[in-house]
């Protein structure tokens, strides 16, 4: 189920089932509920009690915050494009701080954004410790120049960056300009 071969399975399964079954193994904390109803089968993907995605024969609807549109319609996607749609959805989940993985089992990181080296922490006025927050218990060393991990159990109140020198957290707009 986890390694659907594109081209072969796609002939047999409807789009929503292909995409739902491709997402689940790469989002280990998710659970999928399958609802058979007269209009067809609906695949609902949950994180705990929270419904994140609902996939049916018309499309995939988002219930988590994203900058992208909230609905993907299958009629606009060619069968060969379904694996790309799967990647889009996983990327959107990563941007929303859910822990999801690439097909080769690497954690998908939020897109890095540029933090000017001329910007400083508003608390300690240091410049070298600003990192992008990812919701995780830890991150590999190779990512530590760009990211810092904060457990999902900590309320960030919208913070996106952290100063690893003094532990200040906040958003880019709060950084001070050097000088
Ligand atoms: Zn600081």
Compute, in angstroms, the gap from residue 28 CA to the centroid of ligand 1.
34
- Are the beta carbons of 135 and 97 closer than 8 angstroms? yes
Compute, in angstroms, the gap from residue 127 CA to the centroid of ligand 1.
8
> 83 and 135 share a domain?
no
Compute, in angstroms, the gap from residue 60 CA to the centroid of ligand 1.
41
Compute, in angstroms, the gap from residue 110 CA to the centroid of ligand 1.
22
Where does the chain have alpha helices with state H? Answer: 15-23, 82-95
* Backbone φ and ψ of 150, nearest 5°: -130, 130
User: Would you state the structure tokens that stand for residue 3, as one six-digit string?
Assistant: 């390694």
What residue ranges of the chain have pLDDT lower than 50? 9-10
Domain count for the chain, please give it: 2
Side-chain-side CA neighbours of 146 within 13 Å: the count stands at 9
> 91 and 129 share a domain?
no
Domain span at residue 48 reads 8-95
User: Per the domain annotation, does 3 fall within a domain?
Assistant: no
> 130 and 79 share a domain?
no
> 71 and 143 share a domain?
no
pTM: 0.77
- Per-residue pLDDT of 30-61, as tens digits, reads 999 999 989 899 999 999 999 999 999 999 99
Compute, in angstroms, the gap from residue 135 CA to the centroid of ligand 1.
20
Compute, in angstroms, the gap from residue 178 CA to the centroid of ligand 1.
13
Compute, in angstroms, the gap from residue 121 CA to the centroid of ligand 1.
5
Side-chain-side CA neighbours of 58 within 13 Å: the count stands at 4
pLDDT at 132: 94
User: Per the domain annotation, does 102 fall within a domain?
Assistant: no
Among all chains, which residue has been given the structure tokens 């929303």?
96
DSSP state for residue 21 in the 8-state scheme: H
The rounded distance, in Å, linking the Cα atoms of 124 and 163 is: 9
The rounded distance, in Å, linking the Cα atoms of 30 and 44 is: 10
> 126 and 86 share a domain?
no
> 123 and 91 share a domain?
no
Compute, in angstroms, the gap from residue 130 CA to the centroid of ligand 1.
8
pLDDT at 10: 46
Compute, in angstroms, the gap from residue 108 CA to the centroid of ligand 1.
27
pLDDT at 4: 52
Compute, in angstroms, the gap from residue 139 CA to the centroid of ligand 1.
20
């Amino acid at each position: 189920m986890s390694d659907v071969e594109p081209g072969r399975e796609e002939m047999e399964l409807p789009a929503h089932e292909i995409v739902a079954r491709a997402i689940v193994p790469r989002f280990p904390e998710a659970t999928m509920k399958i609802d058979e109803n007269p209009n067809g089968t609906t695949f609902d993907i949950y994180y705990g009690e929270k419904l994140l995605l609902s996939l049916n024969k018309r499309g995939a609807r988002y219930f988590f915050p994203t900058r992208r549109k909230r609905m993907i319609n299958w009629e606009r996607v060619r069968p060969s494009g379904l694996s790309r749609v799967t990647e889009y959805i996983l990327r959107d989940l990563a941007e929303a701080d859910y822990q999801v993985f690439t097909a080769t089992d690497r954690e998908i990181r939020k897109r890095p954004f540029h933090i000017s080296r001329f910007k400083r922490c508003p608390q300690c006025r240091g410049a070298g410790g600003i990192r992008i927050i990812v919701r995780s218990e830890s991150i590999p060393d190779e990512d530590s120049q760009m990211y810092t991990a904060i457990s999902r159990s900590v309320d960030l109140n919208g913070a996106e960056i952290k100063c690893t020198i003094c532990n200040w957290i906040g958003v880019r707009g709060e950084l001070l300009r050097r000088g």
